[in-house]
Amino acid sequence: MPRREMARTPGRDLTSLFDPKSVAVVGASDDPAKYGHAIASQALRAPGRRPVHLVNRRGGTVLGRTAATSVAAIGEPVDLAVISVPGAGFEAAVDDALACGARALVAITAGFAETGAAGLARQHAITARVRDAGAVLVGPNCLGIADNTTELYLASDTFAPGGVALLSQSGNLALELQLRLAPHGSGFSRFVSLGNQADITLVDLVDDCAHHDGTSAIAVYAEDFGDGRAFAEAAAAAGKPVVLLTAGRGTASARSAQSHTGALTTSADVVAAACRDAGVHLVHTPREMTVVLAALDAQRPGAGRRTAILTDGGGHGAIAADAAETAGLDVPELGEGTQNRLRTVLWEQSAVGNPVDLAGMGEQDPRSYAATAGALLATDETDAVLMTGYFGGYAASAGGLGGGGTALSEGEVRAAREIARLRSERPKPLVVQSMYPASPSCRILADAGIPVFGATEDAARALAALTVTEPAGSTGIPPLPPPSVPLTDPGYHSVRTLLAAAGVRFPAAREVTDEAQLLCVAAEFDGPYVLKALHVLHKSDAGGVALRLPDAAALLAAYREMHARLGAPSYSVEAMADLTDGVELIVGVDRDPRFGPVAMVGLGGILTETLHDVAFALAPVPPARAEGLLRGLRTAGLLAGVRGRPAVDIAAAADAVARITEVAAAHPEFAELEVNPLLARPDGVLALDARAVLA
């Protein structure tokens, strides 16, 4: 399993952190260049909520208030201490706060694990003292915390109130999100700078925010998950949307790639799989994070991807349809009944197939937007609606509309109010893209909880965040099985025996080391035979596999040729499987240092790395999820049968995936476990090769 600095304590009480009875700012300063000045200034914004004490070792006054020389000198209980002092005085400040009964510490001071081994040792020692005292610690090397719901302001900046809890390893990113969310009327319930996560971890904070009434969504920027699997488990159990932005996803995990699994698995694959399994919204930029948060803050997700595009111009409609499909949504043609209903509210030249195009009718009667939106929200043929184009611009262009600008502007405002009413009555995801997103009409929509964006791709991404595409019960992190007795021999036949005991079917096979043994094996079962050189990396590429050997003579000849060329210490003689109507799959499990065992399923055989048609999930993979991974492959049509070939037994293949990944998850000594190929046939599956790499 991934290693952590200290074991996490589930369900930790963070009341003293987010709603303390009193606060001390240790290192408070009058010098605007010092962080202690910013923290103290913010802490004093709500002096009526709780006592706020300023501590400076020189005493005197800070920000016009008398400063104590230590926490002990305050003479009153302190529940939470923020420590922003030079590194040399940090331990003493921690001991002072703990001795005075502090239950929570926020450590701004840097110079610990991020500096190397000596700093890490100091961090370990301090964390142990905090935990022994029954307290909690955020940081060190963090930028503070804030909780708008309890008027706790212990960060250098002010965060607009709202429903988003932001847990971030970057202070500047928090400021950017604040700026980007402001036009959408969204803000923050909490902000926590994660720092080094010596004690309180990202997982602890996700757990706590999940139970925080003032938080409706959890936003995370993380460069280091620590225990990534625990994060995924916490996010899956949160019961609230979790949106993740992370860095470094494009680099390959540090490993010796001794198999296809190792060669094909990257950090990006692992994070994406964990997020999908946990139901986390994975985003790639601060802008995308803002878009998703603004959507989730405004509306609740709905089920299904069938999207109706409502536009007032063909160009906007076509672009929106492309953007919707790129975002993973479907834009199906509407049925005859819905099209007929649309024709009753639109004029003859309007397009009603999908996209639905007003074709200029809005300039005659802006209320046609509302009538059309209402019809699309009401039909059972759609799960969501994306409105795109000029709506919001009539008032802005009033002078150029033949004197009718005022009437059009007023009509557009009435249409906006009607759309807001219809959306409240028919709760289906509705997102708007407008050329004039700040117009009065669009402001009415936004105030009613209908997200409005200036960019088409943003509107499509927001709508994708509001649509539930996974069937009920398909997300969640599977529990790890109890560890099994370690396998000390990672040889081919040992791995086969282990998997066979778990119910994975293999052809008959025997290991041989000389010609006499080979001929004895040939007498045990009939040909055709397969001969494999063992202990040879990538046997097929090295010419270490001979297929369809019809009899003992051919088997012996192949053995002599292969042994002269490769000199392998041993060989496997196997019954040749019937490859007719079969599809070769690969099932591999790689042990990620942060997320634990990660499964890979895809098209197998010698073209695995060339085609790169694979899917990932945290292991073990239950059969239903395994079947979903198989059906989601680009080449899934091969499994369903093409050009007269019969369909393979996908359920049996999914069951084999479940058994293989369960074995891998139960053996933490495996760095990798791989079955390639796993032959899927109409009458079941057969594993034709297997290998394991010990950690």
Closest by CA position to 621, among listed 599, 639, 652: 599
Residues 6+ apart with CB under 8 A from 407: none
CATH number assigned to the domain with residue range 305-468, chosen from the 4 options 3.30.499.10, 1.10.10.10, 3.60.20.30, 3.40.50.261: 3.40.50.261
Average pLDDT over residues 204-229: 93
pLDDT higher at 605 or 308: 308
586 DSSP β-pair partners? 602
CATH number assigned to the domain with residue range 583-694, chosen from the 4 options 3.30.470.20, 3.40.50.11540, 1.10.357.10, 3.50.50.60: 3.30.470.20
438 CB neighbour count, 10 Å cutoff: 13
168 has a pLDDT exceeding 90? yes
pLDDT of residue 255: 40
396 has a pLDDT exceeding 70? no
Average pLDDT over residues 639-647: 87
Stretch among 241-245, 322-326, 395-399, 423-427 having the lowest mean pLDDT: 395-399
Dihedral of CA 540/602/583/497: which sign?
A: positive
Phi, psi for residue 427 in degrees, rounded to 5: -70, 85
Strands 281-283, 242-246: pairing kind: parallel
**Band of pLDDT at residue 605, cut at 50, 70 and 90:** confident
pLDDT of residue 383: 95
pLDDT of residue 269: 87
Stretch among 164-178, 359-373, 388-402, 537-551 having the lowest mean pLDDT: 388-402
pLDDT of residue 8: 46
Average pLDDT over residues 591-602: 94
Q: What is the mean pLDDT of the chain?
A: 91
Cα separation, 519 vs 553, in Å, equals 9
**Band of pLDDT at residue 249, cut at 50, 70 and 90:** low
Cα separation, 492 vs 529, in Å, equals 17
pLDDT of residue 261: 46
Stretch among 51-55, 176-180, 405-409, 656-660 having the lowest mean pLDDT: 405-409
Residue 613: in which H helix or E strand, if any? none
- Share above pLDDT 70 across residues of the chain, in percent, rounded to a whole number: 93
Using DSSP's 3-state secondary structure scheme, residue 67 falls into: coil
pLDDT of residue 298: 86
pLDDT (tens digit per residue) in 188-201: 999 999 999 999 99
Phi, psi for residue 123 in degrees, rounded to 5: -65, -45
483 CB neighbour count, 10 Å cutoff: 12
Residues 577 and 659 sit within 8 Å (Cβ to Cβ): no
**Band of pLDDT at residue 257, cut at 50, 70 and 90:** very low
487 has a pLDDT exceeding 70? yes
Cα separation, 661 vs 674, in Å, equals 9
pLDDT of residue 165: 97
220 DSSP β-pair partners? 167, 244
- Share above pLDDT 90 across residues of the chain, in percent, rounded to a whole number: 81
Fold adopted by 508-575: Dna Ligase; domain 1 (3.30.1490)
pLDDT of residue 397: 64
pLDDT of residue 300: 85
Strands (E), 440-489: 452-453, 467-468
Residue spans of the domains in the chain: they are: 305-468, 508-575, 583-694
248 CB neighbour count, 10 Å cutoff: 10
Stretch among 48-52, 169-173, 315-319, 644-648 having the lowest mean pLDDT: 169-173
* Token couple for 124: 């370990």
**Band of pLDDT at residue 541, cut at 50, 70 and 90:** confident
pLDDT (tens digit per residue) in 6-22: 444 557 999 999 999 99
